[in-house]
A = this chain, B = another copy of it.
Protein backbone atom coordinates (compact mmCIF):
# COMPACT_ATOMS: atom_id res chain seq x y z
CA UNK A 1 0.00 0.00 0.00
CA UNK A 2 2.18 2.79 -1.25
CA UNK A 3 -0.48 5.52 -1.41
CA UNK A 4 -0.50 5.82 -5.16
CA UNK A 5 -3.20 7.98 -6.61
CA UNK A 6 -6.52 6.16 -6.34
CA UNK A 7 -8.39 5.87 -9.65
CA UNK A 8 -11.71 7.65 -9.64
CA UNK A 9 -13.52 4.55 -10.91
CA UNK A 10 -12.30 2.78 -7.81
CA UNK A 11 -13.88 5.42 -5.60
CA UNK A 12 -17.13 5.14 -7.52
CA UNK A 13 -17.14 1.42 -6.94
CA UNK A 14 -16.36 1.80 -3.26
CA UNK A 15 -19.71 3.52 -2.89
CA UNK A 16 -21.36 0.54 -4.56
CA UNK A 17 -19.59 -1.95 -2.32
CA UNK A 18 -20.67 0.08 0.66
CA UNK A 19 -24.30 -0.14 -0.37
CA UNK A 20 -24.03 -3.89 -0.85
CA UNK A 21 -22.31 -4.28 2.49
CA UNK A 22 -24.90 -2.22 4.31
CA UNK A 23 -27.63 -4.38 2.81
CA UNK A 24 -25.80 -7.52 3.85
CA UNK A 25 -25.29 -6.15 7.33
CA UNK A 26 -28.99 -5.44 7.53
CA UNK A 27 -29.64 -9.06 6.62
CA UNK A 28 -27.40 -10.26 9.39
CA UNK A 29 -24.62 -11.51 7.12
CA UNK A 30 -21.28 -11.33 8.87
CA UNK A 31 -18.80 -12.42 6.25
CA UNK A 32 -18.63 -12.01 2.49
CA UNK A 33 -16.13 -13.29 -0.06
CA UNK A 34 -15.13 -11.28 -3.08
CA UNK A 35 -17.00 -13.87 -5.12
CA UNK A 36 -20.22 -13.10 -3.27
CA UNK A 37 -19.65 -9.38 -3.61
CA UNK A 38 -19.49 -9.98 -7.34
CA UNK A 39 -22.90 -11.62 -7.16
CA UNK A 40 -24.49 -8.72 -5.38
CA UNK A 41 -22.69 -5.81 -6.99
CA UNK A 42 -22.14 -6.96 -10.53
CA UNK A 43 -18.50 -5.99 -10.19
CA UNK A 44 -15.92 -8.71 -10.72
CA UNK A 45 -14.27 -10.30 -7.72
CA UNK A 46 -10.83 -9.44 -9.08
CA UNK A 47 -11.83 -5.81 -9.49
CA UNK A 48 -13.12 -5.72 -5.95
CA UNK A 49 -9.92 -7.09 -4.51
CA UNK A 50 -7.81 -4.77 -6.62
CA UNK A 51 -9.87 -1.79 -5.53
CA UNK A 52 -9.39 -2.60 -1.88
CA UNK A 53 -5.69 -3.19 -2.37
CA UNK A 54 -5.19 0.55 -2.86
CA UNK A 55 -6.02 1.01 0.78
CA UNK A 56 -4.29 -1.92 2.40
CA UNK A 57 -5.08 -5.52 3.19
CA UNK A 58 -8.28 -6.42 4.73
CA UNK A 59 -9.75 -9.83 4.00
CA UNK A 60 -8.76 -13.19 5.37
CA UNK A 61 -7.70 -15.82 2.85
CA UNK A 62 -10.01 -18.80 2.89
CA UNK A 63 -12.71 -16.80 4.65
CA UNK A 64 -13.48 -13.47 3.05
CA UNK A 65 -14.21 -10.07 4.49
CA UNK A 66 -15.87 -9.09 7.74
CA UNK A 67 -18.92 -7.14 6.65
CA UNK A 68 -18.93 -4.88 9.65
CA UNK A 69 -15.24 -4.10 9.58
CA UNK A 70 -15.26 -3.49 5.86
CA UNK A 71 -18.16 -1.08 6.16
CA UNK A 72 -16.23 0.89 8.71
CA UNK A 73 -13.17 0.85 6.56
CA UNK A 74 -14.87 2.08 3.40
CA UNK A 75 -16.74 4.72 5.35
CA UNK A 76 -13.44 5.99 6.68
CA UNK A 77 -11.92 6.05 3.20
CA UNK A 78 -14.83 7.97 1.75
CA UNK A 79 -14.98 10.25 4.76
CA UNK A 80 -18.43 9.05 5.56
CA UNK A 81 -17.49 8.01 9.07
CA UNK A 82 -18.47 11.39 10.46
CA UNK A 83 -21.44 13.42 9.37
CA UNK A 84 -20.85 15.42 6.20
CA UNK A 85 -22.87 18.61 6.00
CA UNK A 86 -23.94 19.71 2.52
CA UNK A 87 -25.13 23.03 1.16
CA UNK A 88 -27.99 22.82 -1.32
CA UNK A 89 -28.60 25.73 -3.67
CA UNK A 90 -31.89 25.86 -5.57
CA UNK A 91 -35.21 25.13 -3.88
CA UNK A 92 -36.92 23.88 -7.04
CA UNK A 93 -37.89 20.50 -8.39
CA UNK A 94 -34.57 18.78 -7.92
CA UNK A 95 -33.99 20.48 -4.61
CA UNK A 96 -37.34 19.19 -3.37
CA UNK A 97 -36.52 15.63 -4.25
CA UNK A 98 -33.16 15.90 -2.51
CA UNK A 99 -34.26 17.40 0.81
CA UNK A 100 -36.78 14.65 1.28
CA UNK A 101 -34.46 11.83 0.35
CA UNK A 102 -34.04 9.54 3.35
CA UNK A 103 -31.11 7.51 2.02
CA UNK A 104 -28.63 10.30 2.56
CA UNK A 105 -28.79 9.61 6.22
CA UNK A 106 -27.51 6.06 5.89
CA UNK A 107 -24.34 7.53 4.42
CA UNK A 108 -24.06 10.25 7.00
CA UNK A 109 -24.65 12.88 4.39
CA UNK A 110 -26.92 15.65 5.59
CA UNK A 111 -28.28 18.64 3.76
CA UNK A 112 -27.49 21.25 6.35
CA UNK A 113 -28.82 24.36 4.61
CA UNK A 114 -30.85 25.34 1.55
CA UNK A 115 -30.39 28.53 -0.43
CA UNK A 116 -32.29 30.32 -3.14
CA UNK A 117 -32.41 33.82 -4.57
CA UNK A 118 -36.17 34.02 -5.01
CA UNK A 119 -37.51 36.38 -2.39
CA UNK A 120 -40.82 34.59 -2.41
CA UNK A 121 -39.13 31.35 -1.39
CA UNK A 122 -36.59 32.72 1.08
CA UNK A 123 -37.83 32.25 4.64
CA UNK A 124 -40.19 29.44 3.73
CA UNK A 125 -39.79 25.97 5.13
CA UNK A 126 -38.27 23.35 2.86
CA UNK A 127 -38.18 19.88 4.31
CA UNK A 128 -36.83 20.37 7.83
CA UNK A 129 -35.05 23.54 6.84
CA UNK A 130 -35.78 27.18 6.15
CA UNK A 131 -34.75 28.50 2.75
CA UNK A 132 -32.00 31.06 3.13
CA UNK A 133 -30.79 33.85 0.90
CA UNK A 134 -27.96 32.73 -1.37
CA UNK A 135 -26.29 36.06 -0.60
CA UNK A 136 -25.72 34.78 2.91
CA UNK A 137 -24.12 31.51 1.93
CA UNK A 138 -20.67 32.51 3.12
CA UNK A 139 -21.93 33.76 6.42
CA UNK A 140 -24.02 30.66 7.02
CA UNK A 141 -21.26 28.26 6.08
CA UNK A 142 -18.92 29.94 8.49
CA UNK A 143 -21.10 28.21 11.09
CA UNK A 144 -21.63 24.93 9.28
CA UNK A 145 -18.24 24.37 7.70
CA UNK A 146 -19.57 22.30 4.82
CA UNK A 147 -17.14 21.21 2.14
CA UNK A 148 -19.77 19.84 -0.19
CA UNK A 149 -22.34 21.74 -2.21
CA UNK A 150 -25.14 20.84 -4.60
CA UNK A 151 -26.13 23.15 -7.44
CA UNK A 152 -29.76 22.75 -8.50
CA UNK A 153 -30.42 26.09 -10.17
CA UNK A 154 -31.01 26.96 -13.83
CA UNK A 155 -27.97 26.75 -16.07
CA UNK A 156 -27.59 30.50 -16.49
CA UNK A 157 -27.19 30.94 -12.73
CA UNK A 158 -24.95 27.94 -12.11
CA UNK A 159 -21.59 29.65 -12.53
CA UNK A 160 -22.30 32.47 -10.11
CA UNK A 161 -23.64 30.00 -7.58
CA UNK A 162 -20.50 27.92 -8.01
CA UNK A 163 -18.37 30.99 -7.37
CA UNK A 164 -20.36 31.76 -4.25
CA UNK A 165 -20.02 28.20 -2.97
CA UNK A 166 -16.28 28.21 -3.52
CA UNK A 167 -16.09 31.54 -1.75
CA UNK A 168 -17.94 29.95 1.13
CA UNK A 169 -15.35 27.21 1.46
CA UNK A 170 -16.87 24.41 -0.56
CA UNK A 171 -14.36 22.14 -2.30
CA UNK A 172 -16.68 19.58 -3.87
CA UNK A 173 -19.67 20.44 -6.04
CA UNK A 174 -22.40 18.20 -7.38
CA UNK A 175 -23.80 20.05 -10.37
CA UNK A 176 -27.22 19.35 -11.85
CA UNK A 177 -27.20 22.29 -14.23
CA UNK A 178 -26.22 21.57 -17.82
CA UNK A 179 -23.13 23.78 -17.92
CA UNK A 180 -19.40 23.48 -17.57
CA UNK A 181 -18.39 25.14 -14.33
CA UNK A 182 -15.10 26.97 -14.06
CA UNK A 183 -13.63 26.47 -10.63
CA UNK A 184 -10.22 26.77 -9.00
CA UNK A 185 -8.03 23.67 -9.27
CA UNK A 186 -8.56 22.58 -5.69
CA UNK A 187 -12.32 22.31 -6.23
CA UNK A 188 -13.83 19.11 -7.59
CA UNK A 189 -16.96 19.07 -9.69
CA UNK A 190 -19.14 16.16 -10.68
CA UNK A 191 -21.93 16.69 -13.13
CA UNK A 192 -25.22 14.85 -13.14
CA UNK A 193 -26.90 14.93 -16.52
CA UNK A 194 -30.00 12.88 -17.14
CA UNK A 195 -30.06 14.10 -20.71
CA UNK A 196 -26.60 12.78 -21.33
CA UNK A 197 -27.53 9.41 -19.86
CA UNK A 198 -30.66 9.21 -21.96
CA UNK A 199 -28.76 10.19 -25.07
CA UNK A 200 -26.35 7.30 -24.60
CA UNK A 201 -29.24 4.94 -24.03
CA UNK A 202 -30.99 6.31 -27.06
CA UNK A 203 -28.03 5.46 -29.22
CA UNK A 204 -27.81 1.92 -27.93
CA UNK A 205 -31.50 1.18 -27.71
CA UNK A 206 -32.15 2.03 -31.31
CA UNK A 207 -28.88 0.65 -32.64
CA UNK A 208 -29.78 -2.71 -31.17
CA UNK A 209 -33.28 -2.52 -32.53
CA UNK A 210 -31.87 -2.10 -36.01
CA UNK A 211 -29.68 -5.13 -35.58
CA UNK A 212 -32.51 -7.27 -34.27
CA UNK A 213 -34.66 -6.42 -37.26
CA UNK A 214 -32.49 -8.59 -39.44
CA UNK A 215 -30.28 -5.75 -40.54
CA UNK A 216 -27.07 -7.32 -39.35
CA UNK A 217 -25.79 -6.98 -42.87
CA UNK A 218 -22.47 -5.59 -41.86
CA UNK A 219 -20.60 -8.86 -41.53
CA UNK A 220 -18.74 -7.59 -38.53
CA UNK A 221 -18.45 -9.04 -35.10
CA UNK A 222 -21.68 -9.00 -33.15
CA UNK A 223 -20.44 -8.22 -29.65
CA UNK A 224 -22.72 -7.25 -26.79
In the complex, A52 Cα to B80 Cα: how many Å? 40
Stretch in A61-69, A115-123, A130-138, A180-188 with 4+ CB within 8 Å of B: A180-188
Question: Which residues of chain B come closer than 8 Å to A192, judged between CB atoms?
Answer: 192, 194, 197
- Pairwise interchain contact B103-A203, C-beta atoms closer than 8 A: no
- Pairwise interchain contact B180-A204, C-beta atoms closer than 8 A: no
- A 155-175 contacts with B by CB, 8 A: 170-174
- Pairwise interchain contact A204-B188, C-beta atoms closer than 8 A: yes
In the complex, A16 Cα to B103 Cα: how many Å? 30
Question: Which residues of chain B come closer than 8 Å to A11, judged between CB atoms?
Answer: 199-200, 203
Kindly state whether residue A46 has any CB partner on chain B within 8 Å. no
Kindly state whether residue A71 has any CB partner on chain B within 8 Å. no
- A189 to nearest B CB, angstroms? 8
Question: Which residues of chain B come closer than 8 Å to A194, judged between CB atoms?
Answer: 98, 101, 174, 192
Kindly state whether residue A32 has any CB partner on chain B within 8 Å. no
Kindly state whether residue A100 has any CB partner on chain B within 8 Å. yes
> How many subunits of this chain does the assembly comprise?
2
Question: Which residues of chain B come closer than 8 Å to A144, judged between CB atoms?
Answer: none
- A34 to nearest B CB, angstroms? 16
**Which chain B residue shows the least CB distance to A199?**
B15
Kindly state whether residue A79 has any CB partner on chain B within 8 Å. yes
In the complex, A207 Cα to B172 Cα: how many Å? 11
Question: Which residues of chain B come closer than 8 Å to A198, judged between CB atoms?
Answer: 84, 86, 104, 107, 109, 148, 174
6 closest A-B pairs by beta carbon, nearest first, are: A172-B201, A172-B205, A93-B97, A15-B199, A15-B196, A147-B205
Other A-B pairs, 15, CB within 8 Å; known A42-B180, A96-B96, A192-B194:
A12-B196, A15-B200, A41-B180, A78-B200, A93-B100, A104-B195, A107-B199, A147-B202, A147-B206, A172-B205, A174-B194, A186-B208, A186-B212, A188-B204, A192-B192
Of the A-B pairs whose beta carbons lie under 8 Å apart in the complex, a sample of 17, sorted by A's number, is A3-B218, A11-B199, A11-B203, A14-B199, A15-B195, A78-B200, A79-B207, A84-B198, A84-B202, A93-B97, A104-B195, A104-B198, A109-B198, A148-B202, A170-B205, A172-B202, A173-B201
